[in-house]
Amino acid sequence: MTMLKNTLAAAAALALLLPGAVLAQTPPAPTPQAEARFTYDNNYLYAAFQVDDAQLLGVHQEPMAKGIEDDDGVGLYLKIGNEPVRAMLVSVAGGFSFLENGTPKPLFTIKYGVTRQGTLNRLDDVDRGYTVELAIPWAALGVEGKAAATTKIAYAATVRKKGVAAAALFPAGAALDKPESFGTLALQASATAPFIDGEQKIGEWPGVALRFPVPAAPAAGGTTPLVPVPVDSSPLTAPPLPKDGVRERRLFARLSLAYQGDTTKITFPPQGVIGSTGTFVPTDQPANGFGPWYSADRVGWARTELAQLRRAGVEVALTQLGSPDVATGPMEEKALTVLVAACREMQQERQATPLLGLWLDRSQVKGDLYLALRRWFALVPPELRATVRVGGVSVYPVFLSDSSDLTPEVIEEVRQKFAAEFGGLAQGVSLGIGFPFATVTPGSQEPFVARRSGETYAKSWESARKSGEPWVVLDSWNDFTRATELAPSRQYGDFYVELTRRLATVPDTTKPAQLQFGALDLPRRLAAGTLTALPIGLTNIGGKAVTLDDAIQVGYRWFQDGKPIAEGPVRVPLRESVLPGFGATVTLGIATVLADGKPLPAGSYELHLELLLPGERTGISVPVRVEEKLEDTVQIASTTLTPLLRMGGKFPATVRLRWLGKEALPPGEAQLLYQILTADGKEVLSSGATPVGESLKPGTWADLPAVVELIGKDGVPLEPAYPERRLESPDERKTGYRIRWALARTSSTTPVQGAYEERVALYPGEDDARISLAPDASLPSSVEAEKTISVRVTLINRGLKRWNKGKVAVTGRWFQADGLRVNQGRAILNAFIDREVAPGEAIDVTAEIAVPERPGRYVLGLFALRPPEVIFPMHPISRTGDMLQVPVMVTGGRQVPLDLTSLFDTDGVASEQRSRDGDLDGTGLTLPAEWFPSDHYGLNQGNLLYPSGYSADISSVAARSIVFRYGVTTDGVKNVIACNGQTLSVPKEKFFAIHIAATATGGSERNLSVVLRYKDGTTETRTRVLRDIATPAGADDAVAFFTPRQRHAELDQAGALTVRHVIFPVPVTKELVSVTLPSDPKVKLFAVTLER
């Protein structure tokens, strides 16, 4: 990116041409900074960087990338004794290079992670920065890990900025070609190794951060030509796109909020996970399972989804809603409120999030269409809403599942209602409904469309590109029920997340270069006879590069009543080439004057921003009101207030605003106001004010602190009002409150023009805690069944009141890896706090945890409670960290899953990549590998032990308590026994039951007859009827596992395949020696478990 070096000089020169023009200069931005942290253990040297960067620019995403120095990124140079200088360079785009004395050296034992707080290579927005974490093996540095603590390490850190020749160096005075100038690295050992994922978490990195300034975005050389241009009365033309006007390209994804996996929630009943018959509703499963953590009313769930959406390159998350008066209406409102809370949490932590949009499910809309969509805009604040430019007008896009019955008159009526209610607070953004779009999907269950290892998805993308539609909607992000999900899943891992990121950025080289205007930071009211500097972001949305030979210039004209009345006297040339998908920024001086230099008369105008090519001009139109004398105005952009509030609390917030008055307001001459209103906005309940202690300069953004207290005019706390109360009454006032922000001079009780509104929910309850493993604590990766383990955790009181000694405790629950709670015989005892804990204070507590009786992979959930009934995570308000989830492997116990590897003689499983790999029944039918069982990428990854009914059936409690050991799914490896009279040896112990996972093949029922041989020489034959694998499970069936589709040699087909769980009792008075299987190859056996 290149910016115009002499923008202000050119603007000043232009001011000389304009009689009476006033130039308002924006104060310089704060100097960007970087923070570096270091630690070590016996294996790695760890480093972390947090870098301020307003424009994230980089293209190198691969390991050992060449030219990585041209990207934004960091470098760490290390010199140890006589060893060569070694360096690790990481690009903001995700690539890295390892150097030895300046020469690339392949090294793939390093670990690193990069996260971006912004969008890569998009110049039509402002980014915040990026985070890099890395771990370099001591062996790669020529050091033995145990000697790291006593080794002297010389270092230099660099931060590079694309387009800036000199990188920032730390320590000051260091030179990369002079190792003797490096600083000495002071390391503090880490009790727990940092998790290298590109996200610096609280407490993860010990020691003090090193801070140093870094390069800002570059300014371009050259002089901006001042070219007087006569007024051109030719009409404005737009590129040949859809009839509804030129639309900015955007990538949307449908985000379902219809999941509630927490059965303990009282106000938000479970939905979308377990059906009335005891089976799982979704076809596929999320990577971390459907436990209580997978719930749309938990902030932690929302944060995970938002982060993964952004990782995939999705720009807008379309939240799926119906009407407020349908059965799911209150739950949707709560989930949307939680989503807003998650966005604000992440933005405060400088994590990038997608913007939010609305997908209205017409099948769930009753009555007035406008009433269905207005609640979304009431709940989602303006700064989180996605805006898209259509024909030069900014709109909030609204997608409808079906718009075939909507006439243009109905759509216009809805748009006018929106303008009447929200227009004044929407900064000139209008409503956009019913625009066409292209849909992209990876496949689905109903109707059944096979995924074919991503081939279906790639072809869907190809069709979307050929359609020419600028808006692409991914269907869907997380609809596990229809199996259209792209989010990380147990079946496909993050394959589709990465594939989305790649496919979304592939340019269509058949299309010509095309520059598109981005978002504009232009006030909608300007004073006559003044000059405003306007940065303009341009993105190349075409398939070929824009070059300097194209001779593109950027200019503007003033229109009134559709006729041009003045043209800007300056045209700014584009001074760099722009590759497909990349952008550039130019700064244009907008003068509110006529052609003769006189001020524009007061009135309404259209400012046409134009790309000027030889013989052609294209552009966009922005409505602007020109005032003879500009009255005081403020633009309030956002707040950091969480929308989830508790009664009786005081809540800090930061309000971001821009003063648009003619003169600066000195410290103490302004106050930030807030009003608390009913949810319908008809009644003001109370108000508050905070003095502004800093100077507010015209056109400059400021972040002002405030404290909000939800009390009435009489000083009494307001009554609870939250979305779930719609279940008891349709009264909107019971669902929340509005907070309206404004600014006023201290000498006046009347706010200046400009306000901001947001919606909050107020809940009862005073308890809240954050729980984490204590700094000195750790859990073994494997524990023995039926034992007791000690877990030391840290509790932080995030509530409103002091905790009394012995009144708050830590307890836990065990969950199987698919999220189902374990009902074990031994209770987990409460561990009470042994002293008082004030709000904000922390305390360490040691809990004694009883381990489950059966082997397998589990999740231990730890949380705080106030016995006997107040469980903190059960509160309607969830906070990040209110439940600690720890994966634990349990071994031993009362079950013995047999290892049948040596007896497997049939390959009954095939992957998508090799669908011809196996043959279960002689016809080429196989079980899909991603469903055998369904956890190749989740918590159970790499483990062969699965509970019966895993992610399938919970109806039989007895069967569900049994664990099976299955074969592997590797292509070409046997994993099934075709029964032919084989004999299974049994350990020398007494068992009281045999559990078998088996099925019939061939299209009909078969007898599973086994011969039980005892130590006393007697035998016993037991028989059970097995239904065919393609026969759906009956009410009397216990299901070991099932797959929702069938794999055949050529293509997957619809239809479930079910493997049954068969139980054979064994007399407790006898000792079982062996089990002989039937002589029927059409009976297929997958696993056997003996129960003590």
Q: 110, 86 in Cβ contact below 8 A?
A: no
Q: What is the pLDDT of residue 239?
A: 27
pLDDT at 23: 32
If we measure between CA atoms, which residue out of 380, 516, 475, 374 comes closest to residue 431? 374
pLDDT average, residue stretch 364-378 = 83
Give pLDDT, residue 20: 33
Q: Once rounded to an integer, what is the mean pLDDT over residues 206-223?
A: 64
> Given pLDDT bands bounded at 50, 70 and 90, which one contains residue 825?
low
Average pLDDT (1-30) is 34
Indicate whether 854 pLDDT > 90.
Answer: no
Least confident of 16-25, 555-564, 621-630: 16-25
Q: Which residue has the higher pLDDT, 892 or 27?
A: 892
**pLDDT tens figures, 340-360:** 999 999 988 888 899 999 998
The model's pLDDT over 429-467, given as tens digits with 9 standing for 90+, comes to 777 887 889 999 999 988 899 998 899 999 999 999 888
Tell me the C-alpha distance between 407 and 71, whole Å: 50
Q: What gap in Å lies between CA 288 and CA 308, rounded to an integer?
A: 13
Whole-structure pTM value: 0.74
What is the model's pLDDT at position 261?
Answer: 80
Lowest mean pLDDT among 82-86, 574-578, 758-762, 1002-1006: 574-578
pLDDT confidence of residue 957:
65
- Cα–Cα dist 162/480, whole Å: 41
CA distance 323 to 360: 9
Structure-model confidence comparison of residues 944 and 145, the more confident one: 944
Residue 231 clears pLDDT 60, i.e. is over it? no
Q: Give the C-alpha separation, 428 to 619, whole Å.
A: 19
Residue 980: per-residue pLDDT: 95
- The secondary structure element, H or E, covering residue 16 is helix 7-17
Residue-level pLDDT at 872: 78
For residue 904, pLDDT beyond 90: yes
Helix then strand count (H, E) for the chain reads 8, 63
Instruction: Report pLDDT for 22.
Output: 33
Q: Looking at the predicted structure, is the pLDDT value of residue 956 above 70?
A: no
How would residue 123 be classed by pLDDT, with cut points 50, 70 and 90?
low
Which of the listed ranges 121-130, 527-536, 1011-1020 does the model predict with the highest average pLDDT? 1011-1020
Ordered structural domains, the chain, with CATH: 3-26+229-239+514-627 (2.60.40.770), 33-215 (2.60.40.1190), 250-504 (3.20.20.80), 634-758 (2.60.40.10), 769-893 (2.60.40.10), 896-1091 (no CATH)
For the ranges 212-221, 401-410, 634-643, the lowest mean pLDDT is seen at 212-221
Return d(Cα 464, Cα 474) in angstroms, integer.
10
The mean per-residue pLDDT over the stretch 320-336 comes to 81
Sorting pLDDT into bands at 50, 70 and 90, what band is 682? Answer: confident
Which of 506, 395, 509, 417 is CA-nearest to residue 457?
A: 506
Q: Which pLDDT score is estimated for 391?
A: 67
CA gyration radius for the chain? 32
Q: Computed from CA positions of residues 894, 900, 906, 912, in that sequence, does the dihedral angle turn out positive or negative?
A: positive
Once rounded to an integer, what is the mean pLDDT over residues 143-162?
82
Tens digit of each residue's pLDDT (9 = 90 or more) over 245-266 = 567 788 999 999 988 887 766 6
What pLDDT sits at residue 15? Answer: 31
For residue 162, which of 576, 472, 523, 488 has the smallest C-alpha distance?
576
Q: In this predicted structure, what is the pLDDT of residue 63?
A: 73
- The answer to whether residue 1061 scores a pLDDT higher than 90 is yes
Quick one: pLDDT at residue 241?
A: 30
Model confidence at 389: pLDDT above 80: no
How do residues 67-103 score in pLDDT, each as one tens digit? 888 889 999 999 998 899 999 999 998 888 899 998 8
The C-alpha atoms of residue 722 and residue 763 are separated, in whole angstroms, by: 6
The rounded distance, in Å, linking the Cα atoms of 608 and 618 is: 9
- Tell me, what's the pLDDT at 245? 59
Once rounded to an integer, what is the mean pLDDT over residues 793-821?
A: 87
Identify the weakest region by mean pLDDT among 445-449, 629-633, 638-642, 676-680: 629-633
Residue 6 has pLDDT above 50, yes or no: no
Which residues make Cβ contacts (< 8 Å) with residue 863, sequence separation at least 6? 769, 771, 810, 811, 812, 871, 872, 873, 882, 883, 884
pLDDT tens digits, residue range 568-627?
Answer: 877 888 877 887 767 788 888 888 888 888 899 999 898 988 888 877 778 888 888 888
Helices in 468-558 by DSSP H: which ranges? Answer: 495-504
Q: How many CB atoms lie within 10 A of CB 844?
A: 15
* pLDDT recorded at residue 998: 95
Contacts of 923 (CB under 8 A, 6+ apart): 1048
Confidence of residue 402 (pLDDT cuts 50, 70, 90): confident
Residue 664 has pLDDT above 80, yes or no: yes
User: Residue 721: which pLDDT band, with cuts at 50, 70 and 90?
Assistant: very high
Q: What is the mean pLDDT of residues 1043-1056?
A: 88
- Spell out the residues 6+ positions from residue 278 whose beta carbon is closer than 8 angstroms to its own: 953, 954, 955, 956
Residue closest to 255 by CA, chosen among 350, 344, 341, 361: 361
